[in-house]
Amino acid sequence: MLIDKLKKITDPRSYHGREYRHYDILYFTILAILSNAKTYADVAVFIRVNFDDLKKHFKLKWRHAPDQSATRKIIVALDPEEV
């Protein structure tokens, strides 16, 4: 399954900066792109609009949906070769 592949990607962030799991953000970004998202803002809107369903289905313990800067920081920090 795709989420299992995404879990294998190394998360370079320090432990303290991991409110959101990188593989969840990547998976939700892919879903957002499939829903016509073109920017980090679009991805953030997708996650915010679908937050309750995503939280329930993926058993997330997030207090709130990440904003576009949090989403961008996570994606930009990943090694493109590994992704």
Q: Of 1-5, 13-17, 36-40, 74-78, give the lowest mean pLDDT range.
A: 13-17
What value does the mean pLDDT take over residues 74-79? 92
Flag whether pLDDT at 38 surpasses 70.
yes
In sequence order, the 6+-apart residues with CB closer than 8 A to the CB of 83 are 9, 26
**Is 80 exceeded by the pLDDT of residue 25?**
yes
pLDDT (tens digit, 9 = 90+) per residue, 59-74?
Answer: 999 999 999 999 999 9
pTM of the model: 0.90
The residue extents of the domains of the chain are 39-83
Report d(CA 45, CA 43) in Å as an integer: 5
Tokens 């993926």, residue located: 58
Name the one residue in this structure whose structure tokens are 């930009």.
76
| Position 46, amino acid | F
